[in-house]
Amino acid sequence: MSLVVYLAAVVFGMSAVLLYRPSTVVRNPLNLSTCVAIVLGSLVFVCAAPPTLSAVNSLTGTPNFGAPLTYGMLSAYSCSMLVLLINWRGGPRPLVRRLVLRSIAAYGLLVLAIVVLFALSDADTERLRDLDTYYANTPFMREMILLYLAGHSAAMLAVCLVCLKWAREVTGLLRTGLRLILLGVLLDLAGFQLTKYTAVVARWSDHDLDFLSTDVAPPMASLGALVCSAGFVLPRLVPPVRAQWQARRDHRRLAPLWTLVRSASTAPRPPAARWQLPQARLQWREVSIHDALLSLAPYFDHGVRERVRDAALRMGRSPHEARLQAEAAMLADAARRAAAREEPPETGRSYRLHATEVPGPSGLVELARALDRLPPAPAAPEGAVPPPMAGTMAQPEEPHVA
């Protein structure tokens, strides 16, 4: 059971690491309150594990000292959830600050009451797993147990109400995240708190339902925490993962265009480029391709472009498709001329490719697809230097030394 609790603490705490960078947490109250709530939730699981309770009791020399520590930590976590909701809702900063201070003051008094009640109680027998039911009828301990459960229940019910309201007002991943948080809180309410209440009340009537508190409540609380952590992480983690995946696809789609123009690019290759994330690799490839297009611009033959464009229009292609096909043919011809070190054609006018008119890699991807669909070049007469195939770059011949 302790392994499950520790695992829940690790996963719950790791969600804060996945969500935010330390440099951006402090500047944003919402990010800060989210991280504090996640960290406190993970600490609750660490403190509640029997090995931790035993170690705390041994270090302090006080039997069951881990109980007020755990219950105080749980109350702090409940308070952090309310503060998170207040910051999430937003509003005028003075009002938000006032509500946050009131929540901290209320749960601060709750923690103080837990400590005072424990100090007044007679709890000399160490109980690591069944303290709530063992001391359910003990004066002051009984009140302490009910107090920490009531404080936690109030915060979780508030979270439920807010998640239900907001889930109807938002869409997409945020709605999915809210529903997961709501599910995690419901698991906590029904699987942890309700079972705790039931086991404690059963003790009051001389019934033994201790297994609900010792065997059912801890794994249900762990499961609820895991689901909550998924709700926190999903809306923030999925978009960057999607962006990296899309960048990887665009990087691969640009391969035909990059193969054609790479020898004309003068952009320096970044260090350790192979170990960079897809977005960084795509950005470098975009910059390098644009640099190569500038180098090849003087070799653009507008006669080639116009002939291919007119032929594509006669075949029923749309003006946009005809333009892309014509630009791909003109670029392949320019790459051949540059590789053969021919003189640039006398065009007397400049031309801007469609790929340089649109932001992002979409225009370059369209040009790469058009290059990939170009028909193969016709066979050259014997003894002539053949032009490069579409999507390839002819390399200059090595000089012959007599």
Percent of the chain with pLDDT over 90: 45
Do residues 312 and 327 lie in contact, with contact meaning Cβ atoms separated by under 8 Å?
A: no
Cα 76 to Cα 154, 195, 248, 357: the distances in Å are 13, 21, 43, 54
Average pLDDT of every residue of the chain: 83
Domain 2-242 = CATH 3.20.170? no
Do residues 148 and 206 lie in contact, with contact meaning Cβ atoms separated by under 8 Å?
A: no
Query: Can you give the pLDDT at residue 398?
Result: 36
Q: What are phi and psi of 215, to 5 degrees?
A: -110, -30
Parse the chain into domains and list their residue ranges: 2-242, 262-269+276-372
Residue 94 has pLDDT above 50, yes or no: yes
Residue 358 to residue 397: CA distance in whole angstroms: 36
Do residues 93 and 33 lie in contact, with contact meaning Cβ atoms separated by under 8 Å?
A: no
- When pLDDT is cut at 50, 70 and 90, the band that residue 1 belongs to is low
Query: Can you give the pLDDT at residue 359?
Result: 86
Largest alpha-carbon pair distance within the chain?
A: 109
Q: Which of 67-81, 140-154, 213-227, 317-331 has the lowest mean pLDDT?
A: 213-227
Q: What amino acid occupies position 204?
A: W
Cα 208 to Cα 136, 172, 191: the distances in Å are 11, 46, 18
Q: Which of 270-279, 323-332, 352-361, 375-384 has the lowest mean pLDDT?
A: 375-384
- Count of CA atoms in the C-beta half-sphere (13 A) of 391: 13
Residue 13 has pLDDT above 70, yes or no: no
Percent of the chain with pLDDT over 70: 85
Residue 371 to residue 131: CA distance in whole angstroms: 73
The alpha-helical segments, DSSP class H, found in 49-92 are 50-60, 66-89
Residue 307 has pLDDT above 60, yes or no: yes
pTM for the structure as a whole: 0.70
Mean pLDDT over 378-399 rounds to 40
Query: Can you give the pLDDT at residue 237?
Result: 78
Do residues 324 and 374 lie in contact, with contact meaning Cβ atoms separated by under 8 Å?
A: no
Digit-coded pLDDT (tens) for 127-160: 988 999 999 999 999 999 999 999 999 999 998 9
Do residues 339 and 378 lie in contact, with contact meaning Cβ atoms separated by under 8 Å?
A: no
- When pLDDT is cut at 50, 70 and 90, the band that residue 386 belongs to is very low
Q: What amino acid occupies position 202?
A: A
